[in-house]
Amino acid sequence: MKLYEHERLDTLIKENIQIIQSKKVFSFSLDAVLLAHFAELPRNKKACILDACSGNGAVAFMISAKTNNPIYAIEYQEILADMAQRTVTLNHLEDRVKIIHGDYNDAQKWFDRGSVDVITCNPPYFTTEDYANIHEENAIALARHELTITLDEWVSTSSQLLKNGGKLYCVHRPDRLLQLLTVLKSHQLVPKKMCFVHPKKEKDANMVLIEAVKQGKEKGIKIIPPIIVFNEKNEYIEPVRSILYGE
């Protein structure tokens, strides 16, 4: 498998998958790992599962180890989609993970309305207003900022694709939680479960994981116990250690 000068091979230890990454683009991090763990996949052998804003496919590869159903992954940036496709080939996952290079806003080119059972999404966290104040590689900026897709757009597209009762799993920043909950509800996606992630027990949450159900019943949100990432020695603690390493 050819690697370009700026690329490296990392290993998803728990899944025993080698994944191509690059210092020139946005590499996956703990948010992707926790999202893949948080997502509950259907047992239906004919279920359609989609990973949106897929990047180099990290979430898709991790959830592929949890099901026998194929995972479809949509990524806007050609460089990332190409890395993901070569990771598929490297790990002989052609029957398990299908990479689509394209705009998630145009997802109905590939999927019928109301045809998807589960969507995972690790979207850009920052608005274009934030982008005006930073300087970074374009590929990284596209992954981090809403330059090609906004919060409202990826939520709207997800709602259109999901079956009634289908589930969206996403990860985002707590400082945009109110906006995210409002947008989800406006597109008939009812938040049902939420988990906050804290870097340490005394620190504020820096991530939130959400499960939302298409046209679900509004009976309140289940807040599950928070995930604490590090102890006072900056070592991974449970359940993060097991999620990462399968121990």
137: pLDDT confidence band, cut at 50, 70 and 90?
low
pTM: 0.94
- CA 81/CA 62 separation, integer angstroms: 16
Q: Rounded CA gap, 204 and 207, in Å? A: 9
Q: Worst-scoring range by mean pLDDT, 102-116, 141-155, 212-226?
A: 141-155
Question: Is 7-245 in CATH node 3.40.50.150?
Answer: yes
Give residue limits of the domains in the chain: 7-245
User: For 44-108, what is the HEC assignment?
Assistant: CCCCCEEEECCCCCHHHHHHHCCCCCCEEEEECCHHHHHHHHHHHHHCCCCCCEEEEECCHHHHH
- Is omega for the bond preceding 174 within 30 degrees of 0, making it cis? no
Say what the pLDDT of residue 24 is: 83
8-20 as b/e: b if 16+ CB within 10 A: eeeebebbebebb
Give the pLDDT confidence of 52-99 residue by residue, as tens digits: 999 999 999 999 999 999 999 999 999 999 999 999 999 999 999 999
The residue assigned the tokens 């604490």 is 228
